[in-house]
Amino acid sequence: MVLAMAAALWVIGAVMGAPLRARWIMIVVLFAGVIAAQLALPDGHPLRVATGGDVRLWLLIAGLIGMALIYRTGLARVKAHIAAREQPVIVGTFGAGELERYARHIVLREIGGPGQKALKNARVLVVGAGGLGSPVLLYLAAAGVGTIGVIDDDLVDNSNLQRQVIHRDVDIGLPKVQSAANAMRAQNPRVEVKTYQRRLTADIAGALIGEYDLVLDGTDNFTTRYLVNAVCANAGVPLVAAALTQWEGQISVYDPANGTPCYQCIFPQAPDAALAPSCSEAGVIGPLPGIMGAMMAVEAIKVITGAGEGLHGRLMIYDALYGETRTITMSPRDDCPVCGH
């Protein structure tokens, strides 16, 4: 009888278009009434006999149903929690927790939501995972750049740790790209990191750089700098490049496709090795790569988001020893073998 009444209530509710929740409430009220009748009526009463004759039966059924509902609700919450944690990052959208992570960017008028979305959609290649590459890679990952490529053929050495802050003592002997990728993923697991454990050479530079929207050059040799500049200029890919020695660093944005000089316009040929010794020969103050690398990351974010005025056509020189900064305006050269006309 009770089951017939429950079925009748369900069908009537469906016919009348009652919400699913309302129909379940009616069923619960029916079972509550049956339990109340079992408790209130004396033994042998016809209604009590017709509904089972023993309240313990209904209490057992209610307990089982309650346990099933609690289990179902808990399972649904666990599944939802796991799905939220494992939800893939869809290009152009923000996953759980990302709005909070990038809130300090989003509230900046010059970046906002559209700028943060542009960062998420961006593909940036960093050439070199050493002194300049270390802060660049960490700050790009922290900023939420969607895809970050890093190419370097070197291994982490004990002498690197004085300034290459992305690597740790336990990383000594590892490929720098692997050590850097581990640090970036630990900092922000939502960015995609692509590693290339090899030297950038002419036979792969065109295809590799063609996969990215922006290139950051943090290398320490002129051969690679000229190669990166030539390929970027030919492909129309903006280039943020910096260099340093001892106490001084320099940085600029080279984008001849948009009217700026290229690197070879400013430095037509490599200086004599005696005039530009390496860091191992001349030394370098530890925090200087961090300062210049952070500047590179700032310029990269500005290029991607369109914020402010970048160092296009300007060379910034920072002297850490005397705390001075100078900016030199630069113009393209018509006779430049890379971008001249």
Mean pLDDT for 229-239 is 96
Q: What gap in Å lies between CA 12 and CA 124, rounded to an integer?
A: 62
Mean pLDDT for 332-341 is 89
Nearest alpha carbon to residue 216 among 141, 321, 121, 317: 141
Confidence (pLDDT) at 79: 74
Block residue for tokens 């490929």: 175
Mean pLDDT of all residues belonging to the chain: 88
Q: Report percent pLDDT > 70 for the chain.
A: 92
Return the minimum-mean-pLDDT range out of 49-53, 123-127, 207-211, 269-273: 49-53
Mean pLDDT for 57-83 is 77
Q: Is 88 a residue whose pLDDT tops 60? A: no
Higher pLDDT, 230 or 78: 230
pLDDT tens for 242-253 read 999 899 999 999
Confidence (pLDDT) at 91: 43
Q: Which CATH architecture has domain 126-329?
A: 3-Layer(aba) Sandwich (3.40)
**Residue 83 binned pLDDT confidence (cut-offs 50, 70, 90):** low
Token output for 158: 């004990």
pLDDT tens for 19-38 read 777 777 777 777 777 777 77
Mean pLDDT for 314-338 is 94
Sign of CA dihedral 121, 191, 89, 96: negative
Give 159: exposed, middle or buried? Use CB within 10 Å, 0-12, 13-18, 19+. Answer: exposed
85: helix, coil or strand? helix
List C-alpha distances in Å: 288 to 115, 241, 269, 326.
Answer: 28, 15, 25, 16
Q: What gap in Å lies between CA 262 and CA 266, rounded to an integer?
A: 7
Token output for 271: 């200086």
Each domain of the chain, given as residue ranges in start order, spans: 2-86, 126-329
Residue 144 CB neighbours (<10 A):
21
**Residue 90 binned pLDDT confidence (cut-offs 50, 70, 90):** very low
Q: What gap in Å lies between CA 210 and CA 236, rounded to an integer?
A: 9
Catalytic center residues: 279
Q: Is 87 a residue whose pLDDT tops 70? A: no
Return the minimum-mean-pLDDT range out of 131-140, 225-234, 265-274, 329-338: 265-274
Q: Is the pTM of this model over 0.75?
A: no
317: helix, coil or strand? strand
Q: Is 159 a residue whose pLDDT tops 80? A: yes
